[in-house]
Amino acid sequence: MTEIVGILLAAGSARRFGAPKLLHPLDEGVPVAAAAAQTLMQVLPNTIAVVKPGDYPLIGVFRELGLHLVENPLADEGMGSSLAAGISAAARADGWLIALADMPWIRPATISAVAGRLADGASMVAPVYAGRRGHPVGLSSRWLQPLQSLSRDSGARDLIANHPDELELLVTGDAGVLQDIDHPRDLRC
């Protein structure tokens, strides 16, 4: 059986938001990061959240949900180091579905479709809505070494850009794949 592990990146600084955006409640009162985590875990129960060391309020939210946690001491270097930390914690997986904790509106069916393509042997998979590539991104174990070597803030962007023939685009009607929360105005209130 193919094991796909969810990696929820939650170690960002939220500078543009001006406050701890991942703890900000959505309409239902659920924190942004909890909503993203619950949806991801609904499809991939084996999910890891990468957090900043000492981010106890967020760590508490994730522990309550039963998430496996990885504290990234290099989180301030950028998303690449957090992705590398998450991948390293699940290095034996057959693939990883990389999701962002500030994207709470992705539908479970979209996550399932991306994970399904990955489990069926795709090398890289990403959803596309209205002609734009979004999240979550699926990467097979073929990319273990390059992913573990990531640093700075590029995440897997450069890896995908350098191997466009490996990327399978999955067209979706899910606008949530493009909707992240960077500013308070991005919230649906």
Q: For the chain, how many structural domains are there in total?
A: 1
Higher pLDDT, 151 or 163: 163
Instruction: Look at residue 118 and tell me whether its pLDDT is greater than 80.
Output: yes
pLDDT recorded at residue 181: 83
Token pair, residue 135, equals: 């999240």
Domain housing 53: 4-186
What CATH number does residue 169 fall under?
A: 3.90.550.10
Per-residue pLDDT of 18-72, as tens digits, reads: 567 899 899 889 999 999 999 999 999 999 999 999 999 999 999 999 999 999 9
- To which residue do tokens 């619950």 refer? 38
| pLDDT range class, residue 157, cuts 50, 70, 90 | confident
> What would the mean pLDDT of 152-174 be, rounded to a whole number?
91
> What would the mean pLDDT of 135-158 be, rounded to a whole number?
91
Token pair, residue 111, equals: 């996550």
| pLDDT range class, residue 189, cuts 50, 70, 90 | very low
Instruction: Look at residue 156 and tell me whether its pLDDT is greater than 90.
Output: no
| pLDDT range class, residue 14, cuts 50, 70, 90 | low
Token pair, residue 138, equals: 């699926």
3-state secondary structure the chain: CCCEEEEEECCCCCCCCCCCHHHCECCCCCEHHHHHHHHHHHHCCCEEEEECCCCHHHHHHHHHHCCEEEECCCHHHCHHHHHHHHHHHCCCCCEEEEEECCCCCCCHHHHHHHHHHHHCCCCEEEEEECCEECCCEEEEHHHHHHHHCCCCCCCCHHHHHHCHHHEEEEECCCHHHCCCCCCHHHCCC
Closest CA to 12 of 84, 80, 78, 83: 78
pLDDT recorded at residue 182: 75
Q: Which residues pair with 4 in a beta bridge?
A: 95
Token pair, residue 136, equals: 């979550």
- To which residue do tokens 């499809």 refer? 43
